[in-house]
A and B are shown apart, each in its own frame.
Chain A
Amino acid sequence: MSLFRTRSTVSLSAVLAGAALVCLQMGAAQDTPLISGGVGFITTTNGGNTTYLPVISPLAAAPLGRHLLFESRATLVESFFPAGDGESGYDHSFFTGLSFAQLDYLAGKHATAVVGEFLTPFGTYNERLTPIWISNFASAPLIFNLGTMGTGSGLGGMLRGSAWSNAKVSVDYAAYFSAASTNEQIQTQRSTGGKADAYFPPQHLELGTSYGRRLEGRHENFVGAHVWWEPSEIPIKLRSEYAHGEHSQGYWVETDFRFARSAAYTTLLSRLEPVFRWQQIFRNSPDSSDGLPGADTQRADFGLDYHFPHEIRINTSYSRQFSLGNRNVWETGIVYRFLFPTWRGK
């Protein structure tokens, strides 16, 4: 355990030191390297057992001239959970991991080449909603592992960009290939895939589709689709995603409501954000390795978020899960989002 910790810390330190070196070499005018991310304290009570999770997830981004960008996000979590085997008290474990550490080359108007460890481009949740200061709920959707190859990261190369963009529609794409890695910090599977999205600004509507194929062990195909919509008449956001694997399929639909039309927090009520998510998993055949519930599952999540000044947010939610043995899940969390330059400039 101590060896694991030492190696983890050394690997993480090496990446952060590399990022710092890059930061020291570059940075001018509006391109000063930045540190961003979230720090939070989350509690989860699942079936009567409460887990406490202090977590920090920093992101570093450093431009290297006009066409290169280095960016990396790490997660450090200390988990306190009830001791098992009939013992009283709590046990704890420490986890550090890199979500991504990538070098982006802005090759042109329509393409960016990415090398390194990157977030698997499948669906929307993994790439867009995993930061703790963004997601409305502390827990990921039940279908998260479908298409993201279990770890949510790939190691290799990716090509992505905006294929077409005008006032009526914006189409973007991503295609990747990942090698397998069993490194403690970078765990990826040999896989390939991609996604394409079309966003219609006048309708505030986004439609997208994803594909992924695992190329190691039992080869498996995954397909996905998503719909996001923000009606202009009502201050709500509707997000939904569907994913299909060979052993299971499922979807989630999430909506959040704001008591103000403007995004600004002008009143106490405008800082309140009720959220709701409904999700279902359908099992085609058993698979103990995919990280999904072992049986058909339905889950309703009711949440209430409050946005305090100075980028502090409180998330609370109650979930009822219907499966083999129904259960309640309570989650609360306080999250602070930070964003600042790496050093003072002129």
Chain B
Amino acid sequence: MSARWMFLALGLVLITGSPVLAQNEKPAAMAEMSDRKQNLAELRKVEENSGEQKFQQNCSRCHNAPEGFSSRISGTIVQHMRVRASLSERDAREILRYLNPQ
């Protein structure tokens, strides 16, 4: 008799507890994803800031930034500037990322 009650109690605990456990796991996973997204966004922001800084240091030293241009020529502009301003490969990459933030 007591064994039967024990199985029943165990079953009840499992049935009621599993969603609770699942609920506890879900926020943890969501929080982790959210943290990762935030970290990626922060990293991207840092890279953009770094790219902007590189743009200011290398391109704006000689001329003003253009008011706007098509993203289809951003790679060509950076290649042109890489030769003209002797940009390092890394600086060129960061400036390209700054010009194409998405």
Contacts and interface: CB of A to CB of B under 8 A. Distances in A.
Contact of B80 (A71, A165, A172, A173): A71
Contacts of B69: 339-340
B63 A30 contact: no
B63 A309 contact: no
Given A31-B76, A134-B63, A201 B57 contact: yes
Interface string A7-35: 00000000000000000000001111110
B83 A341 contact: no
B70 A32 contact: yes
B86 to A, nearest CB: 4
Interface in A80-136: 104, 106, 109-110, 112, 114, 127-129, 131, 133-134
Interface residues of A, number: 48
B61 A228 contact: yes
Interface in A28-52: 29-34
Contacts of B19: none
Contact of A162 (B56, B72, B77, B86): B86
Interface in B64-102: 64-67, 69-77, 79-80, 82-84, 86-91, 96, 100
A242 interface: no
B2 to A, nearest CB: 73
A29 B71 CA distance: 8
A259 B82 CA distance: 30
Contacts of A134: 62-63
B60 interface: yes
B83 A69 contact: yes
A174 interface: yes
A115 B11 CA distance: 81
A340 B88 contact: no
Contacts of A104: 79, 83
Contacts of B100: 30
B67 A311 contact: yes
A290 interface: no
Interface in A199-224: 199, 201, 204, 206
A112 B83 contact: yes
A161 interface: yes
Contacts of A341: 70, 72-73
A30 B67 contact: no
A71 B90 contact: no
Contacts of B60: 263
Given A263-B65, A307-B64, A337-B66, A29 B86 contact: no
B86 A160 contact: yes
A133 B66 CA distance: 11
The CB with the most chain A CB atoms within 10 A, among B66, B71, B79, B87, is that of: B79
Contacts of A340: 69-70, 73
Counting from the closest, the 4 A-B pairs by CB-CB distance are A30-B75, A172-B86, A162-B88, A165-B88
Interface of A: 29-34, 61-63, 69, 71, 104, 106, 109-110, 112, 114, 127-129, 131, 133-134, 160-162, 165, 170, 172-174, 197, 199, 201, 204, 206, 228, 230, 263, 307, 309-311, 337, 339-341, 345
Given A30-B74, A63-B76, A106-B79, 16 more contacts: A31-B75, A31-B79, A32-B70, A32-B72, A33-B76, A69-B79, A109-B88, A112-B86, A114-B83, A127-B84, A134-B62, A160-B86, A165-B91, A172-B86, A201-B57, A341-B73
